[in-house]
Amino acid sequence: MAGILGGLSFPSWRTGEPVSAHKAELLRQAVLRLDAVQRMPLSVFCSHVSFWPWSFQRNPVLIWRGAVTWRSSATTITIAVVWTGSVLSGDRVRVRVDNTTTDFTPVEGLNTFTISGNYPDLTVVPIDITLTSTSRGPGGYPNPSPNWPDVFVQEVSISPIAPQWSYPSVNTFGDVTETRLNNLTNQLLWLTQAYGMHIRPVNPYLHREQGNLTNRIDRIRWIGSFVRPSTHTQLRVRGHVVVTQGGQTESIDVLVNNNQIATWPIPTTIGVHSFEIVGSITAVAANNRGIVDIRQTKTAPANTVSPNFVTITDVSMIAPVIPPPSLPVWLPRQSMTYATLKSQFEALRTATANIRLAYTNTTSYWRRQYASPARTAKDEFIFDYVEPVQPHSAFRVGEAIIVYGEQAQLVRGALEYEPKDGNNPIQWRGSVETSLLSGSSAQSAILYFDTLKATPIGSLYFVRGKRLYYVAEWLGAL
Amino acid sequence: MAAPTRAQLEADVLQPTITVEWWNGSAWVDVSQHVVRTRVQSQLPKALDLGAGAIPTAAITLSGATLSTIPAFAPVRISYGLVSTTTIRRFVGYVTSISRIAPSPSAVAWNCQGVAAAIAAQTIRIPVRRNRPPHTQTTSTSIEDPNNSSYSAGMINEVLWRAGGRPLQQRAAYPTAPWYYDCTSSLLTPEWSWLDGENAWDDIARLCRAVGSIIYQDEGGVVRVRSVVHATSGSAVYGWTDQALTAAQRIAQNRGLYQTIEERRSWEDVPSVITVRYVRRGVSGVVECYNDTTARYLLPNQSLQLQLDSTEPILNLKRIEIDAASTVSGTAVSIQQSGVQAVAHTITLTATNPSNEPAIITAIRAYGTVVLAIEEGTVSAARTPTTITSRELRTEDNPYVQNELHARGLARLLNDLYGVARPSVTLRRCASDVDRTVGQIVSVTSSALGYTDERCVIEYIANDANSWMDVSVTPLSGLPQISDLFVVGQIVSNTTTRTLGY
């Protein structure tokens, strides 16, 4: 399959057989793919999109809904919730995992809750996080009394994500023996499993349909978090803005841990403008957490004029572009000395060891797997009416797409949306559309991109739908 | 008595003996005293072409009318020796047809085929396996029994075992095996392999063609599977010459004589470009891998054995859905499934109607992951030096060639094999020699044709009544040998120059 880890094959070696150029080349290709994987952009956990949870002053109030794809090695679901403000005695964080509900008593500040889990591999597990309180007034828009403080979900993830067998060791490549070759192959297999088990969340991203929000524009923003792998040094935000109000002074500001790392002035000319904002995240120490806050601000003219419409399609950590390891190609019947043969295998071993080192230094990222939210929390489950629905979007790198919900369509090409009509959510239209799910109850599906038209590697796609709770990409291979 | 010695075999006068036995189901019956004539022939693939050699044949003429009524497909073996020596097996196979010959009604001709005929007559299914070598070296300790939990031998080894053969190197452990097999390592390995044909011999021949191997049965009844590089390797064990040598010289030089020699050099198989096609495969998601709407009628409590053929090999069968309804009430009937099994393309199960009313099955659907064909591609290799007239050799669509790297290796191998017009040399009227078998490396000397100890492989032997042999050989100059290649586990000095394999 054509995912970034797809199509890899791991040969076995036996004493007495010719040293196969075919097999050695398979190892070289595995090294190059793994080197690419450890440097590819990494998704940031999406706390939610659009409005802050404290905008939803109801009791109880759903503050995060989404899902995670279970992997067989995982044992624990971790939920991190930041509670900024006073905790009342009856306040609870209610976590529902696949219809099993657990209440946690929060404290002020960071709360880390864990729940044990054991599901079949590749099962999509739905997760809801709700605030409930016996100390606050009953629900009913707009205000329970007293109001909820600022609460947001910092992370929902499962762990550990890792092969359930030991990483084999290979000493410096001496003679070309069956044991050495098989151990080297198994190292690459192990690393491919370690990276390939990881499911990449495809987040729903901010799209503002209505800009008529007077002075609360800063509330429309994208919040998320990441644990920075040492390999990744920048945050990249991509999207586009439709400027219908020309001549305004607006910008998109990217903050990490409350420090602005990048800003992009929105053009003043009417039209569609794409953007890519990149800022350094090295101020966040490796394996530490960064809280991402992306805002659209308008300083002029007066706030009563609507800001322009922004769509964010991608928020990722990126690694510096460096050349891939230089490894000689293995050709059938290629002539060389035994010393050269050993040095070529040693080059493979060294490159593999470097990937392993990078993996070891970034296990805080790779050994956990983020859940991904269901579009916006502000939807019919909270308000009993349909709000604009953000499509999930991603630049395809995987072999297969995982979707969970009732109805979902993959949309490619020039994207436009239709205004809501009655109870229908916003339907995003594209020049190429493929149905992924079509049911009346939530279900999951794994669909290989090879079977979905017009989704080559690297292409931007959107997934829209009705009651669409989760989208992710499977890097595949194993 | 002992086996014939070289001195006996190279003597100017031979007194050949022939033993013919057939298996009556419980014992070997010796019919040697009825033998009028025998002719046995064995063959490698022509000019070291990849795949299978022709199945060995034997024609036995016997006197005795009762010998026309032996059971069908009776095992038979033919051995040659000399007076005062034991005999050596020259043919192992089955009687596949019997003719009675007029005007002498007591004369009977048994037409026999080698054990490959029995392999060909079997349907052997092997489940989908990933990166399993097509064939692996058989040794005295190699684990060849597929039921052994540590089994990891090649797919062809498994087919040969399931067909009844046992490894030659473990003969002592399996003294009653009907035949033996002997494999070398293979040069190339498909990522996915499976077997699900109606002719196991053809299936493994196809796999051999994909990985640069040949398969043949030798005179001793041993099925040999060798990579073409292994088949070309080794020193000559014997020589034929047109020099006038006395018996003593023939013994001392380990040579024999022939009466005529003929060389044929054909350009028909020499291409200017070799094109290898491949079909990349990968694992699908859970898909509908079988669907039919054949109406099947089931009485109450009746069971039906079903065999369903998927178009793609099944990796993991998830479930089978059967739509059925009572033919009386029209209500849906839940058909019970048992013994559900999916091996390669084939799903087998027993469907039972548990109701008290007759039911009709209206549809069957199977779901699972399959090894899906994803895309096709070709790899071309131009021959050097090229031919004057452009000729392209395109390989067959072989399901076991599955990626560009494999195709590239195979193209290079075919270039090495077919890159030059390789002559076929036929030696006629050689003295019968029970030590000669197809696949042996020998030398040929011909002052007329300019061959001096030319290293060759025996491609064909037809032995007439243990008196004369016609032998075809293929010269090996220019072909790679295993000693030209680096071998896993074989340690050489750092300055030794060799090549990679394919």
Exposed/middle/buried for residue B245 (C-beta within 10 Å: 0-12, 13-18, 19+): middle
The reply to whether residue A335 touches residue B498, judged by beta carbons under 8 angstroms, is yes
Identify the pLDDT of residue A139: 58
- Alpha-carbon distance A462 to nearest alpha carbon in chain B (angstroms): 21
* Res. A385 pLDDT band, cuts 50 70 90: very low
Identify the pLDDT of residue A209: 46
With CA atoms as reference, the chain B residue closest to A28 would be B405
Domain total of chain B: 4
Residues B85 and B201 in one domain: no
The reply to whether residue A341 touches residue B500, judged by beta carbons under 8 angstroms, is yes
Identify the pLDDT of residue A143: 61
Q: Tell me the longest C-alpha to C-alpha distance in chain B.
A: 94
Within 10 angstroms of residue B484's Cβ, the number of other Cβ atoms is 17
Domain membership flag for residue B495:
no
Domain membership flag for residue B303:
yes
Identify the pLDDT of residue A212: 37
pLDDT 10s digits, A163-192: 999 999 887 888 999 999 999 999 999 999
* Mutation to test the A interface, candidates B169, B405, B410, B414, most A Cβ within 10 Å: B405
Identify the pLDDT of residue B52: 94
Q: Which of B417, B435, B462 is the last residue of a domain?
A: B417
Residues B334 and B360 in one domain: yes
- Alpha-carbon distance A270 to nearest alpha carbon in chain B (angstroms): 45
* Mutation to test the A interface, candidates B402, B414, B500, most A Cβ within 10 Å: B500
Query: What distance lies between CA B437 and its chain's CA centroid?
Result: 16
Domain membership flag for residue B308:
yes
Nearest partner of A406 among A443, A371, A375, A369, judged by Cα: A443
Residue B241, H or E segment: strand B239-241
Domain membership flag for residue B439:
yes
Residue written as tokens 């946690």?
Answer: A104
The reply to whether residue A14 touches residue B136, judged by beta carbons under 8 angstroms, is yes
DSSP state of B169: G
Size of interface A-B (CB pairs under 8 A): 142
Question: pTM for this structure?
Answer: 0.87
Question: Token pair for residue B208?
Answer: 């051999």
* Res. A137 pLDDT band, cuts 50 70 90: confident
Higher pLDDT, A432 or B88: B88
Residues 6+ apart with CB under 8 A from B151: B143, B144, B145, B158
* Alpha carbon distance A375, A388 (integer Å): 9
Q: Which residues of A touch B405 (CB under 8 A)?
A: 22, 25-26
Residues B107 and B53 in one domain: yes
Residues B184 and B222 in one domain: yes
With CA atoms as reference, the chain B residue closest to A177 would be B489
Residues 6+ apart with CB under 8 A from A394: A200, A202, A203, A314, A460, A461, A471, A473
Collapsing DSSP to helix, strand or coil, A296 comes out as strand
Written as one string, the DSSP assignment of B77-132 is EEEEEETTS-EEEEEEEEEEEEEEESS-TTEEEEEEEETHHHHHT---EEEEEES-
**Alpha-helical runs (H) found in B139-216:** 155-162, 200-211
Q: Are strands B468-475 and A289-300 parallel, antiparallel or unpaired?
A: unpaired
Residues B279 and B406 in one domain: yes
Residues B239 and B284 in one domain: no
User: What is the CATH number for B105?
Assistant: 2.40.10
Residue A314 pLDDT greater than 90, yes or no: no
Domain membership flag for residue B491:
no
Q: Are residues A239 and A395 in contact, defined by beta-carbon separation less than 8 angstroms?
A: no
Identify the pLDDT of residue A142: 52
With CA atoms as reference, the chain A residue closest to B138 would be A16
* Alpha carbon distance B463, B429 (integer Å): 10
Residues B226 and B136 in one domain: yes
Residues B18 and B103 in one domain: yes
Nearest partner of A257 among A216, A300, A228, judged by Cα: A228
* Alpha carbon distance B472, B261 (integer Å): 10
Residues B101 and B13 in one domain: yes
Question: Token pair for residue A140?
Answer: 């009913």
* Res. A214 pLDDT band, cuts 50 70 90: very low
Residues B209 and B146 in one domain: yes
Q: Which residues of A touch B189 (CB under 8 A)?
A: 11, 20, 22-23
Domain membership flag for residue B499:
no
Q: Is the dihedral of CA B416, B421, B423, B424 positive or negative?
A: positive
Average pLDDT across chain A, whole number: 84
Task: Write phi, then psi, for B209 (nearest 5 degrees).
Answer: -65, -25
* Percent of chain B that is helix, strand, coil (3-state, to 5): 15, 45, 40
Mean pLDDT is lowest, of A147-156, A201-210, A413-422, A457-466, for A413-422
Domain span at residue B225 reads 120-230
* Alpha carbon distance A312, A296 (integer Å): 11
Residues B289 and B356 in one domain: yes
The reply to whether residue A331 touches residue B374, judged by beta carbons under 8 angstroms, is no
* Alpha carbon distance B185, B122 (integer Å): 25
**Alpha-helical runs (H) found in B426-465:** none
Identify the pLDDT of residue A382: 43
Collapsing DSSP to helix, strand or coil, B496 comes out as coil
* Res. A247 pLDDT band, cuts 50 70 90: confident
pLDDT 10s digits, A143-169: 667 788 888 899 999 999 999 999 998
* Alpha carbon distance A406, A415 (integer Å): 22
Domains of chain A: 21-37+164-196+335-361 (no CATH), 214-318 (2.60.120.260)
Domain membership flag for residue B490:
no
Average pLDDT over residues A245-267: 91
Q: Which of B96, B114, B132 is the last residue of a domain?
A: B114
Residues B72 and B154 in one domain: no
Q: Give me the average pLDDT of each 10-residue run along chain B (502 residues).
A: 86 88 92 94 90 94 84 91 91 92 79 92 91 95 95 94 95 93 96 89 95 96 96 95 93 94 84 91 86 95 95 94 94 95 96 95 95 90 72 89 94 87 91 94 96 96 92 94 96 97 96
Q: Are residues A237 and A374 in contact, defined by beta-carbon separation less than 8 angstroms?
A: no
Identify the pLDDT of residue A416: 63
Residue A420 pLDDT greater than 60, yes or no: no
Collapsing DSSP to helix, strand or coil, B494 comes out as coil
Residue written as tokens 């679901």?
Answer: A77
Write the Ramachandran bin of B229: left for phi over 0, alpha for psi from -120 to 50, otherwise beta: alpha
Q: Are residues B39 and B72 in contact, defined by beta-carbon separation less than 8 angstroms?
A: no
* Res. A18 pLDDT band, cuts 50 70 90: very high
Q: Which of B363, B388, B417 is the last residue of a domain?
A: B417
pLDDT 10s digits, A50-103: 455 555 567 888 888 889 999 999 999 999 999 988 999 999 999 999 989 999
Domain membership flag for residue B110:
yes
